[in-house]
Amino acid sequence: MPAALHPTIALLQSSSLSSVVQQEIERAILAGDYPPGSKLSEAALAEKLGVSRGPVREAFRMLDEAGLVRSEKNRGVFVRAIPMDEALEIFDLRAAMDEWVGKRLAESITAEQVRELKALVAEMEEAVKAQDARLYHLANLRFHDRMVEMVGNRKLTDTYRRLIKELSLFRRQNLADAVLMRTFLSEHKKIVKAIASGDGQAAARAMLEHVMQSKQRTLANDVLQRGLAPSASGR
């Protein structure tokens, strides 16, 4: 009969498994497999992922702390639905962070990093030509995440990533529009040009304007969606 694992080793293995389960559930949530408001079944996920319920339960706890799910006593665990007012607050906070990131990068970016950002913009350009909103969205996420990462502030990177994940839960359709994708692409090119020039003020301004424009488009899209939604009396 095999010897029992040392409690510390067992804890580390359990923690590692919980992290893997958490990452997989998070990936599925952000990919839209579980839309906002969906109830997550501990038993079903355990069976699907081939694990016991313990790691799933711990994964739920971590996802709750990350702001992606909410746990309701006697009801279960649900994917969070981000309301408009909270989404707008995230946009405002992100704008302040990105403004600072743009200024810092313009002051410190290397030629190799500029090439990396240009390559990501080129990926977005190819996605625009192919009218592939999904590929554009993924390249867009990598572009902004990489800029924040290049600054080298781990606390900023962690905070930024949490905000972006929360914002991803908010129902938006901006990137599905081919015209808007081209507009976003133009803004990204402007950002890289300003950063590469070393002009901190211009880079900060380009980053700020990009986020605030995205905020305004989100508001306009929400108004449009609510305007198209059937009223209760019209059912």
The domains of the chain are located at 8-79, 84-224
Residue 135 gets which letter from DSSP? Answer: H
Which neighbouring-strand residues pair with 71? 77
Angle 117-120-123 from CA coordinates, rounded to 5°: 155
pLDDT of residue 133: 85
User: Would you say residue 173 has pLDDT above 70?
Assistant: no
- Its sign, for the CA torsion 196, 202, 207, 213, is negative
pLDDT digits (tens, 9 = 90+) for 106-151: 999 999 999 999 999 999 999 999 999 888 888 999 999 999 999 9
User: Would you say residue 103 has pLDDT above 50?
Assistant: yes
Give the CATH fold of the 8-79 domain. Arc Repressor Mutant, subunit A (1.10.10)
pLDDT digits (tens, 9 = 90+) for 42-72: 999 999 999 999 999 999 999 999 899 999 9
- pLDDT more than 90, % of the chain: 64
Rounded CA-CA distance 33/151 in Å is 32
Instruction: Tell which residue, 203, 209, 169, has the closest CA to residue 86.
Output: 169
193-213: average pLDDT: 97
pLDDT digits (tens, 9 = 90+) for 15-39: 588 899 999 999 999 888 898 899 9
pLDDT of residue 234: 42
211-224: average pLDDT: 84
pLDDT digits (tens, 9 = 90+) for 186-202: 999 999 999 999 999 99
Average pLDDT, the chain: 87
Residue 108 gets which letter from DSSP? Answer: H
pLDDT digits (tens, 9 = 90+) for 158-168: 999 999 988 88
Instruction: Tell which residue, 188, 167, 172, has the closest CA to residue 124.
Output: 188
Q: What is the largest CA-CA distance in the chain?
A: 70
Given strand 69-72, what is the order of strands in its sheet?
Answer: 39-40, 76-79, 69-72
- Residue 36 structure tokens: 């906002």
Rounded CA-CA distance 103/202 in Å is 8
Task: Name the H helices within the chain.
Answer: 7-30, 42-49, 53-65, 84-108, 111-129, 133-151, 154-168, 178-197, 200-228
Rounded CA-CA distance 233/231 in Å is 5
Beta carbons of 171 and 86 less than 8 angstroms apart: no
Asked if the domains at 8-79 and 84-224 fall in one CATH topology, the answer is no
Q: What is the homologous superfamily of the domain 84-224 according to CATH?
A: GntR ligand-binding domain-like (1.20.120.530)
Rounded CA-CA distance 201/178 in Å is 30
pLDDT of residue 190: 97
pTM above 0.85, yes or no: no
